[in-house]
Structure 1
């Protein structure tokens, strides 16, 4: 234990010498002043209500009840970072849409990706669609149906139109892109503030 204090003193001096505090403050200022989301179209929730949106989590969960009693639940999170030859591509949103008819325990589930088209707004593609017999027990080994891309193109279009009719349109996908990216930035800035506070205490 007697060695701990000298080690801490050396670490503190190293922090001071490398101006970590100034770097952190500069990064915070940059994040707060940058207007990186200016090219993302704003959207709206429409008839969806926010069911879950914790500042400590990365996802958001929305719920909507349709006129005929159908429930639509959307769970969305930013996808992984992807790299191209020279740069990082904008991250898409991974969106899961579940639809349940009143009085039934079965669920129709769609796994989708939302991509940013810049000034043209956003669009979503269905990656997978499956029918789950019971919402109480989801067996991961159960057959989930054929690959969505292998379905008849007219059926693919019809299923996408079905989702649009349930409120999964451009307004919602624009909202998700902007909201999740701002949420991630907010979490990053909060982390920088905590780090700045720790370094400042050390000095």
Structure 2
């Protein structure tokens, strides 16, 4: 009896294992994503067309602006030298640098920024107009001697035909921390001392002739940088993903 029961159990297990061996996993059927309707496709096409037309409009306006500037005067490179000063144009930046050696142990660097606008003080209720505005350039003059000496610096306003000293002070070669003493306004100094300091710069070629050159130089610089900027913006708008 026991032998028969064992035989029945063995046959039941055998049938179970045989059914498991024939098991196949269920495969999920991938249904294709629904296609956009013709109306949705048309709307997407119109949206892309509008975007393309808008970008083309921007590019056309930029090209027209660039051509207008080129028609007024051609794009030119800054001259590499003015008298004994070498010029670093600093392409893509808002300033230029001039450099020269003077005497046996002096090194002179000029850092010149782009134009700023000066408006005279209104008098007797008179309204300031565009004709009253005058462009000037900010310039920092740094004069180096030897490693033991500091740096003599002049902060100047460069007018179309003259250079005006605003500050004169000394600083360390390692730079300045905090708020260093910059001295009184230049115009508060003794008149004879002011004249002597202007003569000091004149001897080093920093004079009215340089002021005239710098204004012409920065006009070219401003135009060149503007055209480069507009060209970069046009290229960016035109770039596709």
Tell me the equivalent position of 2:86: 49
1:64–1:14 distance in 2 versus 1, CA, 3 Å: closer
Q: Cα distance, 1:182 vs. partner?
A: 0.7
- Counting helix residues as a fraction of each chain, which structure ranks higher? 2
3-state secondary structure, aligned to 1:156: helix
Deviations 1:105-160 (A, max 9, x none): 311110001111xxxxx21100111122x211313412111111211222112111
Structure 1: runs of 5 or more not aligned:
37-41, 117-121
- Kindly indicate whether the alpha-carbon contact (under 8 Å) linking 2:115 and 2:218 is maintained by their aligned counterparts in 1: no
Name which structure has the greater RCO, CA cutoff 8 Å, separation 6+.
1
Q: Cα distance, 1:83 vs. partner?
A: 5.9
1:186–1:170 distance in 2 versus 1, CA, 3 Å: same
TM-score by length of 1: 0.76
Tell me the equivalent position of 1:27: 65
Q: 2: CA distance between counterparts of 1:167 and 1:155?
A: 19
Q: Cα distance, 1:33 vs. partner?
A: 1.7
Structure 2: runs of 5 or more not aligned:
1-43, 121-127
Match status 1:108 vs 2:152: yes
TM-score by length of 2: 0.65
Which structure has the bigger radius of gyration?
2
- Kindly indicate whether the alpha-carbon contact (under 8 Å) linking 1:105 and 1:136 is maintained by their aligned counterparts in 2: no
State the number of aligned residues. 185
Tell me the equivalent position of 1:75: 111
Root-mean-square deviation (CA), in Å? 3.0
- Kindly indicate whether the alpha-carbon contact (under 8 Å) linking 1:46 and 1:172 is maintained by their aligned counterparts in 2: no
